[in-house]
Structure formats: structure tokens, C-alpha cells
Structure 1
Amino acid sequence: MATSYCSISNPPLSKTSFPNKQVPGWVLRAISKGKGNYTGGIYTTTKRNLRTGFHVCAVNGGQGTRNVSGAEFPSDYTELLAQAKEAAESAFKDGKQLLEIEFPTAGLQSVPGDSEGGIEMTGSMLLIREFCDRFVPAEKATRTRIFFPEANEVSFARQSAFEGCSLKLDYLTKPSLFEDFGFTTKVKMSDRVRPEDEIFLVAYPYFNVNEMLVVEELYKEAIVSTDRKLIIFNGELDRIRMLVTFLNKREAALMMFENNYPPFFYPKLAELSKTFLPKLETVYYIHNFKGLKGGTLFRCYPGPWKVLRNIGGSFFCLHEQEEMPSLKEVALDILPSA
């Protein structure tokens, strides 16, 4: 493990440009310009699960490539998607089969909870479409299957971000009579997968615990002993990882209650953290920590894990290591001591 610290008396200042992005099937309501180069907007659509609008921070630009081994923190979502694309391609070339991509959608320096859940999922949907436009060659579009959390989400995607695309859209669960209590009907993955499928992308499977359990089933039934690939996109897997870091049952129960996971699912989630999650390669990751001693945990494959701090608009590395540190370690040990 290598650790480096920096001291800056007059750090450089930088501002990020966020141009507007037009999305087919959506109506852009312009908002007032801020200072400098910042612009923004609100995309609105018909109400669906409290999704009435969301803020968009630049998701456009060219499809240029870069050397991700020395990747720096992205200046906007265009650069982020370029980095994530290169990271995923590099991992697949290295023989990795199960990938994780995780980053905030309410702003590059936002934290979980800064935006309403439905808005975050809609933001992820748009970013996934932009990622696929860069990552999936046209000739492989019909061999790429995107699994959304549930059937209604597929209908929403087809009417908005994925309108007119040739990617296969599918779902992990179906609504049930007890959906309001967090229960859904699992879908048998062997019935959803087709022989020609090569790449599976699972979109934000975190709202209901059944979603990640079905993802594990997808892995066992359709990926093991094959050349197929799987990417979990914004699955908030840290919720599950945290299960094994809590010191006592009371803290674990509180965490699960806050994440709307029913108690009888605890053992299944804990088992996922031991059996399935270790098989994943986290190829792109951003997690922010707020506060006076705040910072960012950042990784872009094949580079190391870095703990960064934003000073005057620029990011500086406080610490780096090869293995992923726990969020608890970053928050309580690394950031306070830097």
C-alpha cells in the first residue's frame, strides 16, 4: 500500500461547464443561468412513481478515449462516462466477467439522499443510455440485454430514455399485491435470457432486496461457465457490504430498517456479501463524504483506490491502495487523519 499527502497554499481554481442535453421524448424546462459557465434544466414527464422531473448535469460530448490507468476525478458526466467505458472495456479484456459501476447521479459531489429516490433512478436511466451509446457497438445492440428493477420500469424506459433504441430491455421482478410493503414477484431468469445474449447490464437494483437476489440467480443460471458478461450499474451495493462491517446486531438492524429491507431478508443479504459480491470487479466508483473533513473515494480500473479531497475546485490525492477500503475506514480513519 502506498500513501501520499499534499499541502497546497494557493490551489488552482476551476469551473465545470454543464451544457444542456436534449433527450427524445422529454420536455426541457430551462432554468436560469448561474455564474460562470454553468447552465441546467429540468426534464419533465408524466408522473410515474413520483417522478415529476429531475436535474441534468451535462451528459453529452464526443466519444474520445483516454488512458484510464492514471485517470483523474472527472470534471463532468461526459468525462465520467468516457472513463467508465474505458474501465469496463479494459476489465473485459483482462478476463473480468462481473463488473460494478457506481457513482452519484445528483451531481458528481453529491451523496446518497441528496435527491429523491425516483429522481436518482431516472438520472441513472439516462446515464445508462448514454453509457450504452458509447460502450455497445451497433452490431452488438441486439445481443445486449438491460435488466431494469421491475416491469413498469421497462415501460417507462421505452417511453423516455430508451425510446427507439435496439437494445433489449427486460426486468428482474414483477409488481405484486403487496408491492407497497416491499414485496414483488421474482422472475425466473432462465425464462428471460436468450441464447444470443452476450452482455447483461443490470440497472440500479437497490430499491427492493429481491432485485439483487435475482441478479445472483442471473449469474448462476446464465453466466457461470459461459463467456457472457454482466455489469451492475448504480446498484448501491455498499448497502449490502455494510452488513459485514457493523459491530453489533442493533446497528445492523437499524441500517436495514433505514434501507427498507424486511428483517427476514438479513441472512440472504449477508450471504450475498460473502458469496456473490466478492466475485465483482468494481471498475468505476465514486462515493462522496461530506463535512469539514470530507472527501471522495474514487476508483477507475485498472488504477488503485484513491481517497481525494476537493481543495479550491481541484482534487488532490490523500491516500491510495490496491484493495477497496470500507466506507467506515475512509470516514473514520483516512479522512480525519489527512
Structure 2
Amino acid sequence: MSLSDITIASKLPSAIPSLPSHKVVNSKNLVQKRYGKSAAIRVSQNLKLVCNSVTWGNDSGSVELDVPFPSDYSELIEQARKAAALALEGDKQLMEIEFPTAGLESVPGDGEGGIEMTGSMQLIRDFCDRFIIPEKSTRTRIFFPEANEVKFARNSAFEGASFKLDYLTKPSFFEDFGFSEKVKMTDRVKPEDELFLVAYPYFNVNEMLVVEELYKDAVMNTNRKLIIFNGELDRIRTGYYPPFFYPKLAALSKTLFPKMETVYYIHNFKGRNGGVLFRCYPGPWKVLRKVRNKYICLHQQEAMPSLKEVALDILPSA
């Protein structure tokens, strides 16, 4: 499938509406319901969500490999958009976009879980507004972890949007014990769907298993594309879930992940030998360190290094 068939927003010379055209979560008057529990929501002030005019259509032939570390979230989303567009042009079908949402220099856990997911939700809306042309918005299905997230999205970041919003799992009576009702993905997908975007599938261990089902049943051997957005897949890569207790989840590292292209990625390392692992497709994987407000490259390679390798070998020896 050609890039034009995917209908990326980068082909549009006109300006994309700025974020204020849809509702922004306000920390003073909005309480989010997540998984049956109420929590006051505030969005990190680090999120600078300003959609600018997109003029990508005429320069898709030039590939920038030496992409600098982004200065804010607006630049980050634009880098991710270009990376995803190039990946689609390269016929990549399964893609990952991963970066922290509590601040460009933050690590998972720096922000409260609900706040981080809310930040991801708004950044996903920004990404979709830049990436998908309006004519194809109804052919784009965005999967959130469960039905409450869909309801929240429709009343906040995705208010007024024509994207199809859906969910991966359905809460059950035993939700507090870690059980949820299985949602058959073939029943959720419609024939006209062309692009799937899965939003932060990490709250429940079953969510990534459902994503694998979505890929196998609705994407593989088709012209459809699937993007996993802030799925914290490093939890699976690093063995955070013990294979003995989560064999199906651990198996994804050998079954699903090898088929996936990580098109945009930021992972920060704190401490004495701190730094960041950064990748913007189709460029190499880089290990950077911030020196006097500038990022310098300490190491780069074509394949993704393990987080352990970066933390214990590359950064200490730099």
C-alpha cells in the first residue's frame, strides 16, 4: 500500500486546527473516573500542545537521520509524526511510539498513573490531528484500555472528533481482583477500518494480549496498520512480569515484538551516569547525555540496545 492510501495529514498544506479547538483537561474543575475509582486530574505543565501548520508533503523524499532531542512536546509530536509517516512509506505495519509524559526528562512513575494516561490521551489527539487527514478520520479506530477511558476521552481530549473510539477490555464484577471480561476483537473491527492506534495498553496485564489478538485477527495479512502509543512495552522486554507467572505476556518478546518497528522512542536514565536512549525512525538508536542544556551523542547503533546494556555498559563507560 502506498503512503497516499494511508492518507497521512502530512500531505495537507493547510494548517491543522490548534489544540484549543477541542476541550483541554482542566485541573480545577475536572475529575476523571478510571476503573471505577474517582481521582482528581491535573495535566503536567510540561505539555506544550500547540499544533502548527504542516508542510510535509513536498519533503517526504528527504530523510533526516540526525534528529535532535526535542525541546518540547510540540516538537516531539512533530518528530513522531514524520517518523511514522516514513515508516508507513517503508511499508511498516506494526509500530511503536514511546516517550515519557510527565516531562521530557522524566521516567515512568514520576507522575501519578492517571495523570500520565491523561497526558498521553491529549498527546494522542495532537498526533492524530497532525497525522490523519479529516477524510480518513472515520477509518481510524483508537483503542483505549477499557470503556470508562472511551467515555472520558469523548468528554475531554477527543470531544467533537470523528475518530472511532473503542476499548480493549470490559470491566467485570471482579475487576478489583484483576479480572476483566474478554472483548473479541473481530467483533470490534469494521471492514472500513484502515488504521488502528492503541493507547497506553499497560494498566492491565491482559491488554497487550488483546493487542496481539488485534494484530493477528485484523492487521496481519491485510493492508491495515497498527500503532501502539505509550504502551510501556519495556516492562515486558525487561522481564518486569515474571515469565513463570505471565508466560503469554513474556512470549510477546518473541512473537509480536520482532514484527514491530519502534519508530519513536525516549527512555531516560537518572543518577550519576544518567542519559537517554533516543530513536527517531529511520535513524539509529542513540545514547545521549545532557551537558550544559545540550544533548551530546555518546553512542549509536542500528539495533535497539537493552536498557540493561545502556545503564550498565554504555553510560558508565562514556
Unaligned runs of 5+ in 1: 1-19, 29-41, 244-254
Question: In 1, distance between residues paired with 2:126 and 2:64?
Answer: 19
TM (norm. structure 1) is: 0.82
Contact 1:298 1:306 in 2 (8 A): yes
Question: In 1, distance between residues paired with 2:119 and 2:29?
Answer: 12
* 1:209 is the counterpart of 2:205: yes
Change (3 A) 1:292 1:131: same
Change (3 A) 1:283 1:26: closer
Question: In 2, distance between residues paired with 1:330 and 1:74?
Answer: 20
Contact 1:43 1:55 in 2 (8 A): no
Change (3 A) 1:150 1:269: same
Residue equivalent to 1:326: 306
Residue equivalent to 2:140: 144
* 1:240 is the counterpart of 2:236: yes
1:100 to 87, 96, 103: 96
Change (3 A) 1:267 1:81: same
| AA at the equivalent of 1:177 | F
Residue equivalent to 1:55: 44
Contact 2:33 2:148 in 1 (8 A): no
Residue equivalent to 2:5: none
Cα deviation for residue 184 of structure 1 reads: 1.1
Identity of counterpart residues, as a percentage?
67
Residue equivalent to 1:31: none
1:308 to 285, 288, 295: 288
Q: Please state whether the residue corresponding to 1:70 is helix, strand or coil.
A: coil
| AA at the equivalent of 1:314 | K
Question: In 1, distance between residues paired with 2:180 and 2:229?
Answer: 21
Which protein is bigger by CA-based radius of gyration?
Answer: 1
1:215-254 matches, within 5 Å, as 215-243=211-239
Contact 1:43 1:54 in 2 (8 A): no
Q: Give the aligned length.
A: 290
Cα deviation for residue 71 of structure 1 reads: 0.9
1:98-247 matches, within 5 Å, as 98-243=94-239
Contact 2:25 2:43 in 1 (8 A): no
Question: In 1, distance between residues paired with 2:262 and 2:24?
Answer: 32
2:83 to 84, 87, 91: 87
Cα deviation for residue 181 of structure 1 reads: 1.9
CA deviation vs aligned residue, 1:122-169 (integer Å, no higher than 9, x gap): 000000000000000111100000000001100000000000000000
* 1:256 is the counterpart of 2:241: yes
Unaligned runs of 5+ in 2: 1-17
Question: In 2, distance between residues paired with 1:205 and 1:27?
Answer: 21
| RMSD over aligned Cα atoms | 1.8
| AA at the equivalent of 1:124 | S
Question: In 2, distance between residues paired with 1:214 and 1:295?
Answer: 33
Residue equivalent to 1:6: none
CA deviation vs aligned residue, 1:293-334 (integer Å, no higher than 9, x gap): 100000000000000001111100000000000000000110
Contact 2:25 2:42 in 1 (8 A): no
Question: In 2, distance between residues paired with 1:77 and 1:272?
Answer: 30
Residue equivalent to 1:46: 31
